[in-house]
Amino acid sequence: MGNPELDLRLDVKVPMRDGVSLSADIYLPRTEGPFPTVLVRTPYSNNLENLIGRAHQLAQWGYACVLQDVRGRWDSEGDFRPFFDEAEDGYDTQQWIGQQTWSNGRIGMSGASYPAAVQWLSAPLRSEYLTCLVPRVMCNNYFQELIFPGGAFHLNVALTWGMRTRARTAQSIDFHNWTEEFHTLPLAEMAANVGDDVPFWQDWLDHPTEDEYWAPLNVTKKFGEIEVPVLEMTGWYDLYQRRAFDNFNGLRKHGRTLEARDPKLIVGPWPHLLSQCTRTGEVDFGADSKLDLDALELEWFDHWLKDVPSDALGAAPLRLFIMGANRWRDEQEWPLARTDWQEWYFHSSGKANTAIGDGTLSRTLPAGEPADTFVYDPRFPVRTIGGANCCSPHLVPWGPHDQRQVEMRSDVLCYTSAVLDEDTEITGPIKVILYAASDARDTDWTAKLVDVSATGNAINLCDFIVRARYRESFTDPTLIEPEVVYEYTIEVGNTANVFRKGHQIRVEISSSNFPRFDRNLNTGHAIGKDAELLPAHQKVHHSQMYPSRILLPVIPAGSNSTSR
């Protein structure tokens, strides 16, 4: 039986500017309107149980709720081109809602991942009815973060997510041989091996530089066109958290209105699904780590759509969960103004291979030290164990995991600090400056920050990659000269973690993190068409001339959050 308190209107056709109609289910309170509206646009079906449950809650709270299938998915017409139609379709939907008799002309948008992308993409078009946003876990530069992070192909996400969304309805991927599939070469043939072709797969591979193809999807250049307030949510182990802080700072600097320049950002110890339980990966962060994000979202909507007074507006711009200490803290800016930026240098006598090698990490400048060497063979890449991954944790684990099995490989260099004699908080963006050479024309360099406990448990905090040809530019990549030492900057990610007394700080350096990222085949050939695999002989330098190091944002003990 239906809910007598709701007026439910199913499969309402919403016209777009090009004549395509998108399907929406509309949940209205059975009271006198008009109502403020919460809009959710999704490629994952507007008939999902969690969405329906949320729509019922919102309607009972006095909101109209519109759940819409995006173009080319489920009951909506047209062809699905991931992300490319969402700006105009979102705007057209907002205009349509604002003109309905049940609408009071105020719209808030909700949703995580792709349903967050549609918020960011449509906001710069500035519908007069769009009033506020609550995007969760989504980036704003789709080349640099979603498809080619660091210049490497985002293999696990692109393939597993792509297979699920290749047809009009949901597709099961659980019965594929993923070990074999991830190793398929050339990449252009990969998607076809597990079913029907994914039409957008080849488009991605055909545009391996940040060219005009990607320009419509770069919202980082459109913050100045966003005029509505934003409450953003992410997790330290979400694959898009690096860009959440770019969104935060971009709006604060460039937002079109005072409201847009006052965004709020909540960051917990969570993976892509956010606050589902207290445990992420192999770590339980305690009862305080779990937040009722729906309640916080509702408070945001109540203020901006219903003019209900709210303490949220006076809250600190940032609410951060500090791992290790396992507590929440409010902050005013990112990076934190009181940060002590410390350079920690790599050292060894040339045998930093594995965690039991002689690699060390200290604040002393290196001098007269031989380079560390290893062979990166793309036939036997370093396995992804945890991290900021998506979207199939049973295939590729996400979150914090013990890295010791990775750190026993000879192609993983480990630089480890002395045992810490006091708690040390590292909160902020992490950067590695690496001086390295290879005998290949192109190769990859990876970096990972690890917290090593007194028992040896090595928990990953953040990691990233840089593809050598993109070391200077995503628009004009250039191959490297064999045996020439180049400087590489690896933006490892953001974290907030207290390394406890008795722990150690470790940096891992290698050349693969698979299948999170595709394997660099070391040939220098065009991506997607190559099946030749060449081993690369790698050298990581740490000397007075080439001081490889990590830049750590250390927060002084006893320091307080700065005033606003």
Instruction: Work out the average pLDDT over 408-436.
Output: 98
Predicted confidence (pLDDT) per residue in 34-57, tens digit: 999 999 999 999 999 999 999 999
Give me the pLDDT at residue 134, please.
98
Residue 191: band (very low, low, confident or very high) from pLDDT cuts 50, 70, 90: confident
Residue 165's pLDDT is 78
| Residue 179 pLDDT exceeds 90 | no
The answer on pLDDT for 562 being more than 60 is: no
Quick check: 33 pLDDT over 80? Answer: yes
Domain range list for the chain: 6-153+208-331, 340-555
Over residues 94-137, the pLDDT tens digits come to 999 999 999 999 999 999 999 999 999 999 999 999 999 999 99
Residue 205 phi, psi dihedral angles, 5° rounding:
-65, -25
Beta strands in 30-160 (DSSP E): 35-42, 64-69, 103-112, 130-136
The pLDDT of residue 197 is 65
The pLDDT of residue 181: 86
Active site residues: 113, 238, 272
The lowest-confidence range among 207-211, 312-316, 508-512, 560-564 is 560-564
Q: Is the pLDDT of residue 196 over 70?
A: no
- pLDDT at position 418: 98
Looking at the predicted structure, is the pLDDT value of residue 337 above 90? yes
Mean pLDDT score across all residues of the chain: 94
Residue 184 has pLDDT above 70, yes or no: yes
Supply the pLDDT for residue 190. Answer: 84
d(CA 43, CA 88): 16
Per-residue confidence at 564, pLDDT binned at 50, 70, 90? very low
Query: Which residues, including other chains, have CB under 8 Å from residue 456's CB and lie 6 or more apart?
Result: 404
Residue 559 pLDDT? 77
Tens digit of each residue's pLDDT (9 = 90 or more) over 136-177: 999 999 999 999 999 999 999 988 887 777 777 766 666 678
pLDDT of residue 171: 65
Helix (H, G, I), strand (E, B) or coil at 190: coil
Q: What percent of the chain has pLDDT over 90?
A: 86
- Rounded CA-CA distance 265/136 in Å is 10
Question: Residue 291 pLDDT more than 90?
Answer: yes
User: Would you state the CATH architecture of domain 340-555?
Assistant: Sandwich (2.60)
Would you call 1 exposed, middle or buried from its count of C-beta atoms within 10 A (0-12, 13-18, 19+)? exposed
Q: What DSSP designation does 520 have?
A: P
pLDDT above 70 coverage of the chain, percent: 96
Class of domain 6-153+208-331: alpha beta
CA angle 527, 528, 532 (to 5 degrees): 80
Give the up-direction half-sphere exposure of residue 561: CA atoms within 13 A in the CB hemisphere. Answer: 15
CA distance 162 to 165: 5
